[in-house]
Chains A and B, each alone.
Chain A
Amino acid sequence: AQSVTQLDSHVSVSEGTPVLLRCNYSSSYSPSLFWYVQHPNKGLQLLLKYTSAATLVKGINGFEAEFKKSETSFHLTKPSAHMSDAAEYFCVVSETGNQFYFGTGTSLTVIP
């Protein structure tokens, strides 16, 4: 069975400081992994995806994620938070590309 656990429901950071949003996954196979962002009252937008070509994945807006198979983790990072990064972030796993399993989300607050 596949599943995703986002370890923090809320994260607060000061503007200009690093961001770390944690995600652990469970999968019997080599999964596809994604991070999506949802700004208030908006749909979801893809930040980045793990393609197995490289364990360190670069996405939009300066975000990165590192796939660690030994730790079954896919944590999202950004060196310096911006006010516009305040949003809900979802980690997603898929084994088949048919069904996608979302984490419960991490709400990121950026303090000016």
Chain B
Amino acid sequence: NAGVTQTPKFQVLKTGQSMTLQCAQDMNHNSMYWYRQDPGMGLRLIYYSASEGTTDKGEVPNGYNVSRLNKREFSLRLESAAPSQTSVYFCASSVFSGLPYNEQFFGPGTRLTVL
């Protein structure tokens, strides 16, 4: 099992460019999440998908869109990148959301720089 995979690992964009971060999991998990990690701020939830066909906003959704393509894949899109979106992005999955003790499994991250 590869677990949670993310592509690309690194990306440099210019302000105003768009891009999509890809995430896939092979654990048959129902729920998937996108986080951003900034120095001194921990991880903050951008969007999550409790199950295939549903998505919900997290703590910092502005400037992002998501697509739950199927049970395995959950993509994050930046339509018009801004320097404030420079960050490390993590995808995670869990068996179900809404359950107590629901641990998450994380991908290796995508390091994005917006110039």
Contacts and interface: CB of A to CB of B under 8 A. Distances in A.
B41 A104 contact: yes
A81 to B, nearest CB: 23
B74 interface: no
Interface string B54-98: 001011000000000000000000000000000000101000111
Contacts of B53: none
Q: Classify the interface of chain B: helix, strand, loop or mixed.
A: loop
Nearest to A91: B42
A94 B90 CA distance: 18
A97 B42 contact: no
B7 interface: no
Given A102-B44, A104-B40, A105-B42, A97 B100 contact: yes
A44 B42 contact: no
Interface string A41-73: 111111001111000000000000000000000
B48 interface: yes
B102 A97 contact: yes
B101 A32 contact: yes
Given A46-B105, A98-B56, A102-B42, 11 more contacts: A32-B102, A42-B108, A42-B109, A45-B106, A94-B102, A97-B97, A97-B101, A99-B58, A99-B59, A100-B104, A103-B42
22 contacts: A42-B109, A43-B4, A44-B90, A44-B104, A44-B106, A45-B106, A46-B103, A51-B101, A52-B100, A90-B42, A94-B102, A96-B97, A97-B97, A97-B102, A98-B56, A99-B59, A100-B45, A100-B104, A102-B42, A104-B40, A104-B42, A105-B40
Interface of A: 9, 32, 34, 36, 41-46, 49-52, 90, 94, 96-105
